[in-house]
Amino acid sequence: MSMVESASIGIPGVCPVGPDSLTGISRQQTNATRWNGANWRDFAIAIRERGIELREALTSTGIFATDAGGTAYGLAHGVVAARSAAQIAQLLKTAQAHQVPVTVRGGGLTTEGESVAFGGVLLDMTGMSRVIAIDAAALQVRTEAGIFWHSLAEELRRYGLDYLSAPLNLTSSVGGTLGVGGIDVNSARLGCSADQALALQVVTPTGEIVECSDTENPQLFRRVILGYGQFGVITEATLKIRPYTPLKMHYFHYDSLRPAIEDLQLLDRNDASDYSGILTIMDCAVNLLVAFDSAEREAAFKADWLPRLRGHGEFGFALCMLRRYAARPWKLAEAWYLWQRKRDLFPELQRPEYMRDGAMLDRTVVFSRAVWKFWGGRQMVIPDLATSAPKFVAAVERGNAVCRKYFPRYTLYCVGIKLRPDHRAHYEMSCIPADAEGWAYGCEFEPVVGKAIYSRDHFQAFKNAIYDIGVELGASYYRFGGMMKGYIRRVFGDAVVDRQLALKRQADPAMILNRDVIF
Amino acid sequence: MGLATPASEHPTADYAACSGCALCLLVCPIWRQTGDVELTPLGCSKALQFGAAVEALAAAAQWCNLCGACAPVCPERIDLVGLMRSLRRQLPPASIDSEPTARQPLITQPAVRQRLGVGDLLVIEARSYHADYQPRVELYDALRRETRCMLNLDLQRIAIPARLPAPEGHDYACDDLAQARWIVLGRAIERIVVEDPADCSVFERLGRWPVISVEQLAKEAC
């Protein structure tokens, strides 16, 4: 019987789920720690008896065979589209009973295979994408957690409202983001996306539907926020929102990393801007972006802080580059690349349909489209380092040296994250490093792969070299699950990991929910 | 005004280039109503990458209304409309849909523009708009600035179609009324003006605002 035939009638054959398998080619599962397909048939029967639609055809499972990273491939035995908390509760109860793993997927924007199912059920949360209620007076929204931030913004904007902070990627889901952090260019002021959650409805790994917040079931709330999906499936979320404002963007150009990072931290410490971040073309064109929600804030910045910045405007930076490459004619190819990249990228950030009276209307649309157009592709690796403020310059400079060694072209993206002292308990074993006070800083190191072909080994060696810096500096990472989970004990230490693991075992006796992602 | 999309914006790649970014999912009206990825160009592209047979994509081909919203947002410039058309041609009952009209929209006539104003929601005909995306984005953006009317555009400047197909034999309750409600949600509307006269009946069913077609506006102008 072929794999397609066996899948369509729910009979487990050879588990076609090796993380290193080639697309479309089934192979014997060789990783003994991975689930081997046991109990699938009984589980499939049980789940259907409960009225849950389970899709097993390759057309259904194949859609989710990889994530945004495109380097981890795996197949679920079946896909369930999320429809309600009650349905998910039934699914998890049944999965516990049959010891079948359930991998939860939102936008699938992981890069290390965290949202790829290596067998078992893939729960597609995008089926729960409804905005439930908007309270404009209290500035709160209640939404189903499978919703993409962009879809949420679409609805909020009809009422002149906006979310606080969300990843600069249109197809990140709310639930997925709350589980891992979520960084925006206003995170240095408003914190990470996870910190804007006021309350959650969670389905625990054993199938209970529980409401939680800082005051109601606070222990569960603490574990689920930044919990990497280990302690429950977020089905609904109440989030803080705010009145919508277009933003005025300014770019300052630097020809090296250190002064740009120091200026970024200066602005953040002094609350000098509403948005701040660094986006580079390699380490030669370092762009500090600074933006404002109001003319008053912009005017205050111009009066108090602009004179202190060491960045250049367009003309000054062009002169800087001329001097640099006139003295280094053997680097003309690099200069040509910088010029081309800037010529193509910057107009994209200022397309007239997204600008009005010099203000950017939809920052996430603008940046997300640019990100996918200029950095996207079938394979993306984005290792990162998250450190305390004092360690950040060293982390970026060392990571930059690794980028230079492994790839001819790359980008760095740096932002600060304001920490909430009352949420310190949420931050244990998360992207927020334990020694961060006031702000944490993160840098993503993204090679521009383009049409070049690199082996998985090359990508992995690059990621390891970046992550080794994190171990040495005592940092953390945005992405420490999936293929990078080998670093978890090295960076967090056995005591923390064992404590979290004990909690996980207590909450998820059969270890079915997002197994292999962290533990 | 030239109504030709620059060559650099034309879709050139096929489904194999799909990176799964899902930007097309956000604008797909079928996904918005059903929440079912399998019924979308994204689902088809990923399934084909993974070796799915064309026959397995019959439902997606039936559901797609060829509104073309997916094509302009694709960063890989995949010809998603061409993909869906190709599926429809290959699958029974084979159907070849007419190409969207390339003629100048009536709102380019000054007399029609003069009759639009604050409080008007202009419902753009989605297929023609997306088939000639960039010039029309500029055209309608200028119209909005000039007349201060509202448009059925989302945050990515994609036109939300007013009507959806509802193939028989499927579970989903995909209905035009829900689509119309989504278009008008939260807007301070006094009148609805539709480019496609067939959209009139959908908005009339809402029963809250007068509905008129651009054609009628043009006749009034004469």
pLDDT digits 0-9 by tens, A326-342: 999 999 999 999 999 98
Chain centroid to CA B163: 9
Same domain? A272 vs A337: yes
Phi, psi of A483 (to 5 degrees): -70, -15
Pair of tokens at residue A319: 């002169």
Q: Does B137 contact A63 at a Cβ distance shorter than 8 Å?
A: no
* The pLDDT value given to residue B30: 92
Peptide bond into A259 cis (omega under 30): no
Contact B162, B203 (CB under 8 A): yes
**Cα distance between residue B38 and residue B57, in whole Å:** 8
Phi, psi of A202 (to 5 degrees): -125, 140
What's the pTM?
A: 0.91
* The pLDDT value given to residue B169: 67
* The pLDDT value given to residue A12: 41
SS (H, E, C) chain B: CCCCCCHHHCCCECHHHCCCCCHHHHHCHHHHHHCCHHHCHHHHHHHHHCCCCHHHHHHHHHHCCCCCCHHHHCCCCECHHHHHHHHHHHCCCCCCCCCCCCCCCHHHCHHHHHCCCCCEEEECCHHHHHHCHHHHHHHHHHHHHHHCCEECECCCCCECCCCCCCCCCCCCCCCHHHHHHHHHCCCCCCEEEECCHHHHHHHHHHCCCCEEEHHHHHHHHC
- Helical pair A363-374 and A332-348, crossing angle rounded to 10 deg: 140
Q: Does A63 contact B47 at a Cβ distance shorter than 8 Å?
A: yes
Using CA coordinates, name the residue in chain A closest to B160.
Answer: A154
pLDDT band of B95, cuts 50, 70, 90: low
* The pLDDT value given to residue A374: 85
Using CA coordinates, name the residue in chain A closest to B52.
Answer: A59
B51: chain A residues, CB-CB within 8 Å: 23-24, 58, 62
Segment A397-446, tens digit of pLDDT: 999 999 999 999 999 999 999 999 998 989 999 999 999 999 999 999 99
Same domain? A258 vs A224: no
Q: Which residues make beta-bridge pairs with A86?
A: none
* Residue (of B58, B131, B128, B121) closest to B95 by Cα position: B58
Pair of tokens at residue A15: 């588990």
Residue A518 lies in a domain: no
**Cα distance between residue A306 and residue A300, in whole Å:** 9
Beta strands B120-123 and B191-194: pairing type? parallel
**Cα distance between residue A15 and residue B38, in whole Å:** 23
User: Can you give the length of chain A in residues?
Assistant: 519
**Cα distance between residue A460 and residue A464, in whole Å:** 6
What letter would DSSP give residue A258?
H
SS (H, E, C) A199-220: EEEEECCCCCEEEEECCCCHHH
Decide: helix, strand or coil at residue A276: strand
Angle at the Cα of A171 from the Cα atoms of A168 and A175, rounded to 5 degrees: 95
**Cα distance between residue A519 and residue B202, in whole Å:** 53
* The pLDDT value given to residue A17: 45
Residue A494 lies in a domain: no
Same domain? A270 vs A230: no
Segment B154-201, tens digit of pLDDT: 999 999 999 887 777 666 766 889 999 999 999 999 999 999 999 999
Residue A318 lies in a domain: yes
Residue A469 lies in a domain: yes
* The pLDDT value given to residue B120: 97
Same domain? A380 vs A291: yes
Q: Which residues make beta-bridge pairs with B44?
A: none
Residue B222 has pLDDT above 80, yes or no: no
**Chain B positions touching chain A (beta carbons under 8 Å):** 17, 19-23, 25-26, 32, 35-38, 42-43, 46-47, 49-52, 56-57, 73, 75-76, 137-138, 141, 154-157, 185-187
Considering A127, A149, A177, which residue would you say is the last residue of a domain?
Answer: A127
Q: Which domain holds residue A101?
A: 3-127
Same domain? A71 vs A191: no
What letter would DSSP give residue A21?
P
Chain centroid to CA A76: 22
What is the least distance, in Å, from the CA of B117 to any CA of chain A?
19
The more confidently predicted of residues A22 and A284 is: A284
Segment B97-110, tens digit of pLDDT: 666 766 788 889 99
Considering A92, A109, A127, which residue would you say is the last residue of a domain?
Answer: A127
DSSP A142-153: EEETTSBHHHHH
List CB contacts of A469: < 8 A, sequence separation 6 or more: A385, A395, A398, A399, A402, A475
Mutation target for A interface from B42, B155, B179: give the one with most A CBs within 10 A.
Answer: B155
* The pLDDT value given to residue A2: 37
Q: Does B23 contact A171 at a Cβ distance shorter than 8 Å?
A: yes
R_g of chain A, CA atoms, integer Å:
23
* Residue (of A89, A83, A15, A7) closest to A44 by Cα position: A7
Identity of the residue in A58, A108, A148 whose CB atom sits nearest the CB atom of B20 = A108
pLDDT band of A36, cuts 50, 70, 90: confident
Residue A19 lies in a domain: yes
Q: Does A369 contact B141 at a Cβ distance shorter than 8 Å?
A: no
For the ranges A139-143, A180-184, B10-14, B41-45, the lowest mean pLDDT is seen at B10-14
Segment A268-296, tens digit of pLDDT: 999 999 999 999 999 999 999 999 999 99
Using CA coordinates, name the residue in chain B closest to A150.
Answer: B26
Same domain? A65 vs A203: no
Q: For position A172, which CATH number holds?
A: 3.30.465.10
* The pLDDT value given to residue A378: 82
Look-up of token digits 């690796």: A381
Contact B31, B37 (CB under 8 A): yes
Same domain? A123 vs A140: no
Using CA coordinates, name the residue in chain A closest to B26.
Answer: A151
Same domain? A188 vs A275: no
Q: Does A81 contact B22 at a Cβ distance shorter than 8 Å?
A: no
Q: For position A254, which CATH number holds?
A: 3.40.462
pLDDT band of A379, cuts 50, 70, 90: confident
B60: chain A residues, CB-CB within 8 Å: none
Look-up of token digits 């516990």: A96
Same domain? A406 vs A318: yes
Please list the alpha-helical segments (H only) found in A357-478.
363-374, 392-406, 456-473
Residue A519 lies in a domain: no
* The pLDDT value given to residue B187: 95
Task: Please state, in angstroms and as integers, the Cα–Cα distance from residue A342 to each residue in A209, A339, A368, A387, A447, following that order.
Answer: 50, 5, 17, 29, 16
Count how many Cα atoms sit within 13 Å of the Cα of residue A251 in the half-sphere of its side chain: 16
**Cα distance between residue A120 and residue A102, in whole Å:** 6
**Percent of chain B topping pLDDT 70:** 87
pLDDT band of A376, cuts 50, 70, 90: confident
Residue B5 has pLDDT above 80, yes or no: no
Look-up of token digits 């940092």: A475
Where does residue A217 rank: exposed (0-12), middle (13-18), buried (19+ CB within 10 A)? middle
Using CA coordinates, name the residue in chain A closest to B143.
Answer: A353
Residue A225 lies in a domain: yes
What is the least distance, in Å, from the CA of B74 to any CA of chain A?
8
Considering A243, A278, A312, which residue would you say is the last residue of a domain?
Answer: A243
Pair of tokens at residue B198: 């067939």
**Cα distance between residue A34 and residue A449, in whole Å:** 31
Same domain? A140 vs A117: no
Long-range contacts (CB closer than 8 Å, 24 or more residues apart) made by A213-220: A213/A238, A214/A422
- Which domains, ranges and CATH numbers included, belong to chain B? 7-90 (no CATH), 106-221 (3.40.50)
* The pLDDT value given to residue A453: 86
A126: chain B residues, CB-CB within 8 Å: 25, 35, 37
* Residue (of B59, B108, B67) closest to B87 by Cα position: B59
For the ranges A44-53, A72-81, A228-237, A448-457, the lowest mean pLDDT is seen at A448-457
Where does residue A500 rank: exposed (0-12), middle (13-18), buried (19+ CB within 10 A)? buried
Q: Which residues make beta-bridge pairs with A213?
A: A199
**Percent of chain A topping pLDDT 70:** 94
Pair of tokens at residue B126: 């989605």
Contact A92, A203 (CB under 8 A): yes
Same domain? A398 vs A256: yes
Q: For position A92, which CATH number holds?
A: 3.30.43.10
List CB contacts of A259: < 8 A, sequence separation 6 or more: A310, A311
Residue B12 has pLDDT above 70, yes or no: no
Pair of tokens at residue A510: 């059969």
ipTM: 0.91
Using CA coordinates, name the residue in chain A closest to B156.
Answer: A365
Residue A512 lies in a domain: no
Same domain? A427 vs A449: yes
The sheet with strand A78-81 has its strands ordered as A78-81, A121-124, A102-105
Q: Give the total number of structural domains in chain A.
A: 3
Where does residue A374 rank: exposed (0-12), middle (13-18), buried (19+ CB within 10 A)? middle
